[in-house]
Amino acid sequence: MKIKRIMTLKLLLALTVTLGLTSCSKNTGTKGGSKATGWKINDKNGGFQYNSNFKKQETPPGMVPVEGGTFTMGKVQDDPMHDWNNSPNQQHVQSFFMDETEVTNIMYTEYLFWLKTVFPPEDENYKNIYTGAIPDTLVWRNRLGYNETMTNNYLRHPAYSEYPVVGVNWIQAVEFSKWRTDRVNENILERNGYLKKDAKINFGEEVTAESTFSTETYLAAPTKSFGGNEEVLLKKELNGGRKQVADDAKNVYAQRNSGIILPEYRLPTEAEWEYAAIALVGNREYNIYKGQKKYPWNGQYTRSGKRQYRGDQLANFKQGKGDYGGVAGWSDDGADITNKVKSYPPNDFGLYDMAGNVAEWVADVYRPMVDDEANDFNYFRGNVYMKNKIGEDGISEIVMTDNVTYDTLSNGKVMARNFPGQLAQVPVDENETYLRTQFSTSDNRNYRDGDRASTRYFNFGSSDEEEGDGEKDEKYRMYESPKHTIDVDSLGAMDKKYDRTNMEAGKRTTLVDDNVRVYKGGSWRDRAYWLDPASRRYFPQDMATDYIGFRCAMSKVGPKSNKKTPRGNPKF
């Protein structure tokens, strides 16, 4: 019996070894190796290196996650304005991050401090960089009102530091977002050992007008970032997810595959903003949305129904003619102009002031109709595709002091569109558009609505040459909006030309063109109707008001959500 048991054990051991060898043979190239080649990944001796330690995108400073999904865009609950620009349509947006609050005065003045320090306005080469970014504080003035206190104090006084910034036009909001992208990624790279500690605040030495950090420059030509200052640009190597000092290594700088560099801060699209504001996630049972929401909060009223806060207004808005807050000490919304951020409850995504306080710029060019027939996924009108400008040496060209691009806006304001240290950009051409089905030009702002082919005068059977020259195109353009121009001579003197052509001809005109942008949400100047997230208005992108501010968004990379949760609140 003992001998039989020993033989049985030997037989089982032999079978186990055989099965183990067979299993190992079958798994070759899958466990610890490439599924494509079977080669070992992250081998210390060389070969393909991959960041296998990446977990998820970190939540950017000041932002909260918004899980994407589907919703009915443009459906207002009441329509006293009888607008025809709110046609309901089904849209889907991907997950993204959005600022918890509007951009505040203190956030924007930090931007101004950086610009003034790095690009001193007393230097003739940079004077328009700082002045072009300053908000228009004169938006507070009124012919028959005394508002000089806000004109002189609102932007700078600490009493208003946590109030939303206003007087910022759409272009300034976009430029702030670009600057914020670089400063956040600069901090992340320093934290991860790719940049010298505290170099970002050492003005006059590491940080000068010719040696600033740009995210895109760092990714495309890292040796040119910070003006090529090797004392700031620390060399690292990614090896199995671990950073090691390697002076002679290849790929010694952080790259996109390092997983630490965040996507760009930007203005939210109109679809993203409306989706985030209405926050249907708080009005859901199982996988069904229950009814419609008139406001970012549940209910059909602007006052809280909770016992502790019953009767309190849930937003800062104009309650009637001459009533910007209610009776003092009773039924008051706590503000007459704007109010400190987070003064009212957040919506179900954790976002504050998605109704009231200030209306907010979004990225989209305005058109009366949302063309959901052309696209119903991440809808956005305003794409202008650019690419890096390549110099004669075959390397991406860097913006220098002598080739900063300045734009003179229609109101005479001069703004810088790029800074020294950034990559020079040019429109995409036929090298990128040839034989593509999804886009054919660089500028897609007027696609299917506003371009020459959209007008009733366009002959679809003719060639472009048969359609006539630019003068004829201008005569029959779809939107008869005025075109104000400014001529600047060699001495900098401006000749402002106000376009009265259509006015004098007695024609009906609009303000719709490729340079007007959508703004969303009600403000302290607006009645309750405009608190509806689906309401939409537009304003010229180079003009500012005392009731329009903005907040930033950032795309989420990777899965829609990081955890598969049961019904209820989604988690990132």
Domain-embedded: residue 24: no
**41 falls within a domain:** no
Domain total for the chain?
A: 3
Question: Is 307 within the bounds of a domain?
Answer: yes
Asked if the structure places residue 549 within a domain, the reply is yes
Please give the backbone phi and psi of residue 516, each rounded to the nearest 5 degrees, phi first: -110, 140
How does pLDDT run across 397-427, given as a tens digit for each residue? 999 988 888 988 888 889 998 899 999 999 9
Query: What is the tens place of the pLDDT at every residue in 276-300?
Result: 999 988 776 666 666 667 888 877 8
Least confidently predicted of 162-166, 196-200, 466-470: 466-470
State the Cα–Cα distance between residues 215 and 220, nearest whole angstrom. Answer: 9
**Whether residues 362 and 410 fall in one domain:** no
Distances 193 to 54, 55, 60, 205, 214 between C-alpha atoms, Å: 17, 19, 19, 19, 17
| Structure confidence at residue 490 (pLDDT) | 64
Q: What is the pLDDT of residue 561?
A: 86
Q: Give helix 105-118 / helix 170-191 axis angle, nearest 10°.
A: 80
Average pLDDT value for residue range 53-68: 94
221 lies in which domain range? 193-259
Alpha-helix runs per DSSP H in 303-460: 430-433
The residue type at 372: D
Q: Which of 133-137, 143-147, 454-458, 520-524 has the lowest mean pLDDT?
A: 454-458
CA atoms 205, 211, 214, 219: torsion sign = negative
Angle, alpha carbons 38-257-45 (nearest 5°) = 45
One domain, residues 73 and 126: yes
Nearest to 485 by CA among 470, 495, 500: 495
Q: Which of 561, 563, 562 is closest to 67 using CA atoms?
A: 561
* pLDDT mean over 212-229: 90
For position 243, what pLDDT does the model report? 44
Residues 110 and 216 in one domain: no
Both 400 and 270 in a single domain?
no
The CB density around residue 27, as the number of other CB atoms within 10 Å, is: 11
Same domain, 312 and 429: no
Structure confidence at residue 108 (pLDDT): 98
Q: Domain containing 159 — which CATH number?
A: 3.90.1580.10
Residues 46-74 as b/e (b if ≥16 CB within 10 A, e otherwise) read eeebebeeeeebeebebbbbbbbbebebb
Half-sphere CA count of 176, side-chain side, radius 13 A = 30
Asked whether residue 220 falls in the same domain as residue 232, the answer is: yes
Would you say 200 and 186 are in contact if contact means Cβ atoms under 8 Å apart? Answer: yes
Adjacent-strand bridge partners of 288: 285
Average pLDDT value over all residues in the chain: 84
What does the alpha-carbon distance between residue 186 and residue 353 come to, in Å, rounded to a whole number? Answer: 29
If you average pLDDT over residues 22-45, what whole number do you get? 68
Euclidean distance between CA atoms 119 and 175, whole angstroms = 15
Which has the closest alpha carbon to 449: 528, 370, 393?
Answer: 370
Nearest-5° angle of CA 107, CA 110, CA 113?
A: 155
User: Which pLDDT does position 485 carry in this prediction?
Assistant: 79
Residues 185 and 93 in one domain: yes
Greater model confidence, 481 or 21: 481
On whether residue 543 sits in a domain, the answer given is yes
Question: Looking at the structure, do residues 136 and 78 belong to the same domain, yes or no?
Answer: yes
Classify residue 311: in a domain, yes or no. yes
Strands 548-549 and 359-365: parallel
% of the chain with per-residue pLDDT over 90: 54
Residues 410 and 319 in one domain: no
> Is the model's pLDDT at 93 over the cut of 90?
yes
- 9 in any annotated domain: no
- Please tell me the predicted confidence (pLDDT) of residue 473: 58
Name 411's Cβ contacts closer than 8 Å, sequence gap at least 6: 542, 543
- Taken in order 348, 349, 350, 351, the sign of the CA dihedral is negative
**Pairwise CA distance, residues 421 & 376, whole Å:** 37
Mean pLDDT confidence for 116-144: 94
Beta strand pairing call for 288-289 and 89-93:
unpaired
Does residue 515 register a pLDDT over 90?
Answer: yes
Residue 519 within any structural domain of the chain: yes
- 146 and 249 fall within a common domain: no
Say yes or no: 346 and 360 in one domain: yes
317 and 436 both lie in a single domain: no
**pTM of the shown model:** 0.88
Percent of the chain with pLDDT over 70: 82
Strands (E), 160-281: 237-239, 242-244
Across 512-531, average pLDDT: 94
pLDDT at 507: 65
Instruction: Examine the pLDDT at 116 and tell me if it is beyond 50.
Output: yes
Last residue of a domain, one of 406, 426, 442: 442
pLDDT tens digits along 244-282: 443 444 458 899 999 999 999 999 999 999 999 999 887
Q: Give the span between the Cα atoms of 448 and 40, in whole angstroms.
A: 51
Model pLDDT, residue 327:
82
For 330-361, how does the pLDDT look when each residue is reduced to its tens digit (9 = 90+)? 667 889 999 999 999 999 999 999 999 999 99
Looking at per-residue confidence, does 50 or 382 come out higher?
Answer: 382
